Chain A
Amino acid sequence: MKNRTLVFIVCSPTGRVGKTVVARLLGDYFLLSGRTFVGFDTDTHEPSFAARFPQEVVVSDLNTIQGQMALIDPLLVPDGVPKIVDLWHRSLEGFFTLLDHTGFIAEARRLAIEPVLLYLADGSPRSVETAGHLAARYPDLQIVLVNNEGTAPGLEEREEFDRYPTGRSFKIAALDPVLRQTIEEPGFSLSRFMLMPPANMSIVVRAGLREWLWRVFSQFKSFELRMTLEETEHLG
């Protein structure tokens, strides 16, 4: 069995749709399962992903060649450690141009590195259009739609949802405002919460948060398992 290295690219052409939340959930998922990850935050103005994980995440400014090197070069290290890129919507086009200019996809394939696009869908025309473009531009790239019910409620029932490229999708349930406030507190770690909830925490908050996280993490887990099954040889 090959040892694949996963590179998650969390993106969307618009801001405020929950990219950093998804990057954060993934990061905590790996930490909770006793693994580590390497993260990148391309938002130089407000690097909130980097602020959550000072140990694991670096900020890289894609406007400079140094920043490009600090992102692209480590992404191509086939060490089995998952990489998570929280792609600022303003650097979306620059990032994909960079992939093209450096021949990233071909090199990743050669090194058994699997880029996975986690695309935050919000149902806006721009979002639908960009997703279509990306799917056409990178036919071999795995695109996973993320349906964030907190920022795009009821998206699944709308006809726009069917216009996205089909494939796998994750669903992130809307979070009760009280719970949201809890997880948005600086220094609140989702993985530490799962391992050992603070003793003074309300039991209602604790149960609600656990339930919410469990539903997200189980989707990540099943995604990972399916990837493993696909790369297993001798299967039927």
Chain B
Amino acid sequence: MVGSVARFGWPVPIMVGADKGGVGKTTVARALLDYFASNNVIARAFDTEHPRGTLHRFHPDVTEVVDITQTPDQMRILDTLNTSQVKVTVLDTRAGALTTSLAALRDVGFLDAVKRGEFNFMLFHILGPSLASLGEIAETAPFVSDANYFLVRNYVNDSTFFDWDPATLQTYFGKVKNASEVAIPKLNAMAYEQVDLAGTPWSTFVANKAAGGEPAQHSFTLRGYVRTWQSKNAEEFNRIRLLDLINGRI
């Protein structure tokens, strides 16, 4: 029986991705890393936006830039899942590379290992505002039947999911078991931009600090907006019981 003892220290690879660019994958990856940090969950991250690395810019201490299609880099990620002291690994996939990354993971036997219960695999699939995203769900679903699959609607930059009529949505959602929805709320554009310029984690900006930890001069108004946004994110992550999931409690 796979009891709670066996699950203690269960590696948790969390993939954040989309097949469409510009839907804010890195924003969600940053929100996750921040949420983990504020809940004392130590996490590491891989940025597959090789060689530039956006996630790396915000979380340089925990992020490595890798090329997920190259064998040496796949080894760097997958072979360390079990041995690393850090159990939670966030993988920020490159724009448009979700299906190919999943295929690569399947080919190296990772998805089989997930099926055997070796890894507690989670996928945060960031949806774009159009119906094309729904097609992505159908494409992605077969890969993640053993994962915790989250469909993320990202409103951070004011996307309106205009053509999502509930009936259509339901037909797609019906195809995926284990899927739940997560909504990332809108953040004031200037606040978003300023954090982007600062190049720090959200919470560092809120604490009015610069990347090196020295005091910064960020506007209170903007910090307030970011803090409120963060707490809404935390509510969402709490709602899906993310901490229980990574600890294998559900």
Contact A65 B189 (CB under 8 A): yes
A68-106 Cβ-contact flags toward B at 8 Å (1 or 0)? 110011001000000000000000000000101111100
A107 at the interface (CB under 8 A from B): yes
B189–A103 touching, CB < 8 Å: no
Q: Assess the B224–A101 pair: CB atoms within 8 A.
A: yes
Task: Tell me how far the C-beta of A64 lies from the nearest C-beta in chain B, rounded to whole angstroms.
Answer: 9
User: Which positions 208-250 of chain B face chain A at CB distance < 8 Å?
Assistant: 219-225, 227-228
Residues of B within 8 A of A76 (CB): 220
Q: Is the Cβ of B190 less than 8 Å from the Cβ of A65?
A: yes
Look across to chain A and name the residue whose beta carbon is closest to the beta carbon of B231.
A103
**Chain A: which residue is nearest B224 at the CB level?**
A102
Is there an interface contact between B189 and A72, defined as CB atoms closer than 8 Å?
no
- Say whether B188 faces chain A, with CB atoms less than 8 Å apart: yes
Partner of A73, one of B191, B221, B228: B221
B155 smallest CB distance to A (angstroms): 15
Give bound CA distance, A147 to B228, whole Å. 36
> Are B190 and A104 in contact (CB-based, < 8 A)?
no
CB of A65 within 8 A of CB of B188, answer yes
B223: chain A residues within 8 A (beta carbon): 102
- Closest residue of B by beta carbon distance from A99: B224
* B190 proximity list for chain A (CB < 8 A): 65-66
Question: CA of A72 to CA of B223 in the docked complex: distance in angstroms?
Answer: 11
**Residue from A102, A103, A104 whose CB has the most chain B CB atoms within 10 Å:** A102
**In the bound complex, CA of A98 to CA of B191 (Å):** 14
User: Is the beta-carbon distance between A73 and B219 smaller than 8 angstroms?
Assistant: yes
Is there contact, CB below 8 Å, between B219 and A107?
A: no
Query: Which of B190, B219, B220, B228 has the largest count of A CB atoms less than 10 A from its CB?
Result: B220
Q: Is the CB of B224 within 8 A of A69?
A: no
Shortest CB-to-CB span from A21 to chain B, Å, is 29
Q: Does more than half of chain B's interface fall in helix, strand or loop, or is it mixed?
A: helix
Bound CA span A204–B224, Å:
52
Q: How far is the CA of A73 from the CA of B194 in the complex (A)?
A: 15
Shortest Cβ gap from A113 to chain B (Å):
11
Q: How far is the CA of A92 from the CA of B188 in the complex (A)?
A: 20
Task: Give the docked Cα–Cα distance between A73 and B222 (Å).
Answer: 9
Residue of B with least CB distance to A72: B221
Q: By the criterion CB–CB under 8 Å, are B224 and A72 in contact?
A: yes
B220 touches A68 (CB 8 A): no
Q: Check if B220 sits within 8 Å of A101, measured CB to CB.
A: no
A76 to B219, CA, bound (A): 10
Q: By the criterion CB–CB under 8 Å, are A68 and B228 in contact? A: no
Contact (A102, B228) CB under 8 Å given A69-B221, A73-B219, A107-B220: yes
CB <8 Å contact, A107 and B224: yes
B189 CB contacts on chain A under 8 angstroms: 65
**Cβ B221 vs Cβ A103 within 8 A:** no
CB distance from B154 to the nearest CB of A (A): 19
Whether B219 contacts A101 by the Cβ 8 Å rule is no
Q: A65-B188, A65-B189, A65-B190 are in contact. Are A103 and B227 (CB under 8 A)?
A: yes
A73 touches B225 (CB 8 A): no
Q: Which residues of A contact B219 (CB under 8 A)?
A: 69, 73
* Chain A residues, CB < 8 A from B220: 72-73, 76, 102, 107
- A73–B220 Cα distance when bound, in Å, is 6
Q: Is the CB of A103 within 8 A of B222?
A: no
Contact between B228 and A103, CB atoms less than 8 A apart: yes
A72 to B220, CA, bound (A): 7
Q: How far apart are B209's CB and chain A's nearest CB, in angstroms?
A: 16
Tell me the complex Cα distance, A73–B208, Å.
Answer: 13
A69 to B225 Cα, complex, angstroms: 11
Q: Once the chains bind, are B222 and A69 in contact (CB under 8 Å)? A: yes
Taking CB atoms, residues of chain A closer than 8 Å to B222 are 65, 69
- Tell me the chain B residues, 172-220 only, with Cβ under 8 Å from chain A: 188-191, 219-220
Roughly how many angstroms separate A103 CA and B220 CA in the complex, as a whole number?
Answer: 9
User: Looking across the interface, which residue of chain A has its beta carbon closest to that of B228?
Assistant: A101
- Chain B positions within 8 Å of A102 at CB level: 220-221, 223-225, 227-228
Residues of chain A having any CB pair with chain B under 8 Å: 65-66, 68-69, 72-73, 76, 98, 100-104, 107
Apart from A100-B228, A102-B225, A103-B227, what are 9 other A-B pairs with CB-CB below 8 Å? A65-B189, A69-B219, A69-B221, A69-B222, A101-B224, A101-B228, A102-B223, A102-B227, A107-B220
**A-B residue pairs in contact (CB < 8 Å), sample of 22:** A65-B188, A65-B189, A65-B191, A65-B221, A65-B222, A69-B221, A72-B220, A72-B224, A73-B221, A76-B220, A98-B221, A100-B228, A101-B224, A101-B225, A102-B220, A102-B224, A102-B225, A102-B227, A102-B228, A103-B224, A107-B220, A107-B224
